[in-house]
Structure formats: C-alpha cells, structure tokens
C-alpha cells in the first residue's frame, strides 16, 4: 500500500540519468521524463500516454508530460554507451496542481513546486 502525504492534490514525476556524460565537462543529470498533475488516486499512467504534450483527461484528469532533455515531450528510455548509469525516479506530492502552460520542462517544474512539496519519494535504478 502506498501512503500519500495528507493534503496531496497532485503528483509530479521527474526521471533523470544522474550519470550522463557531458562532452563539455563532468557528468550532468539528463532528464528522460517529466510528468505533472498526476491525480493522487492514480495507481498507474495510461497505456500509450507517453509522447503527448496535451493533457490527458477522463479518469486521469489533467496529467501532462513535459519536455525531456531531447526537447520533446514523453519518455525516452536508456540507450547507454556503457552500463552502471543511475536513473532517479523522483515523485513529488504537491498541495496543488501546476499551471505551467506549454513547453513544460524540469526547470519550470522544480521552480513551480517550491513551497508546495508535501513529501517526496525516490526510486533509484541502475541500467
């Protein structure tokens, strides 16, 4: 059973490869997925959801994907030149929905959630 912070109105998810190499310097996090306005009652994201910039309605009430570091909305899975990359799946419980307009990015999300985070959970996976 998953426990959510009391007062949670929406969830936001940011997935990053935190061991991505940067040709111009040291390793930097590379964003693979940004999803906002996930209703706290949702237990899974809808099939075929990824890759759409518009909001998903119905039972999923306003879920929206942001742009990843490839500058497109949706999930882009790992295509790694080597093994041992840590992928961080960070889920934020928020006291409100985010109203970010078009071209949602990780940076916009992290700025908008300031003062609205009720709790967070992190899952680390190694690919």
Task: Write out pLDDT tens, residues 63-75.
Answer: 899 999 999 998 9
Alpha-carbon distances, residue 107 vs 31, 50, 95, 113 (angstroms): 10, 19, 19, 10
Alpha-carbon distances, residue 15 vs 49, 60, 63 (angstroms): 16, 20, 16
Residue 106: both structure tokens together: 């990780």
Whole-number mean pLDDT of the chain? 87
104 within some domain: yes
22 within some domain: yes
4 within some domain: no
108 within some domain: yes
Contact 88, 15 (CB under 8 A): yes
Place of tokens 């078009």: 102
Alpha-carbon distances, residue 31 vs 2, 47, 65, 88, 108 (angstroms): 25, 21, 12, 10, 13
- Decide if pLDDT at 55 tops 80: no
Q: Which of 9-18, 20-29, 80-89 has the lowest mean pLDDT?
A: 20-29
CA pair distance 75, 33, nearest whole angstrom: 5
Bridge partners (DSSP) of residue 37 are none
3 within some domain: no
pLDDT of residue 78: 82
2 within some domain: no
50 within some domain: yes
- Expressed as residue numbers, the domain containing 121 is 10-126
- Decide if pLDDT at 54 tops 70: no
- Decide if pLDDT at 7 tops 80: yes
pLDDT of residue 1: 43
pLDDT of residue 60: 72
Strands 64-65 and 86-94: what pairing? unpaired
Structurally, the chain folds into a number of domains equal to 1
5 within some domain: no
**pLDDT of 94-121, one tens digit each?**
999 999 988 899 999 999 999 999 999 9
Check which CATH number belongs to the domain holding 41 and give it.
3.90.280.10
- Decide if pLDDT at 52 tops 80: no
Please tell me whether the overall predicted TM-score, pTM, comes out greater than 0.75 for this model: yes
**Rounded percentage of the chain residues whose pLDDT exceeds 70:** 90
Residue 16: both structure tokens together: 């990053």
């Amino acid at each position: 059973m998953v426990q959510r912070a009391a007062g949670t109105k929406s969830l936001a998810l940011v997935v990053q490869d935190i061991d991505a190499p940067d040709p111009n310097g040291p390793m930097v996090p590379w964003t693979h997925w940004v999803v906002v306005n996930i209703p706290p009652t949702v237990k899974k994201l809808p099939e075929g959801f990824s890759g759409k910039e518009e909001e998903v309605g119905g039972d999923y009430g306003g879920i929206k994907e942001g742009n990843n570091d490839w500058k497109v909305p949706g999930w882009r899975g790992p295509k790694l030149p080597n093994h041992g990359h840590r992928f961080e799946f960070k889920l934020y419980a928020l006291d409100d929905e985010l109203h970010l307009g078009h071209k949602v990015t990780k940076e916009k999300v992290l700025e908008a959630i300031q003062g609205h985070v009720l709790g967070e959970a992190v899952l680390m996976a190694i690919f």
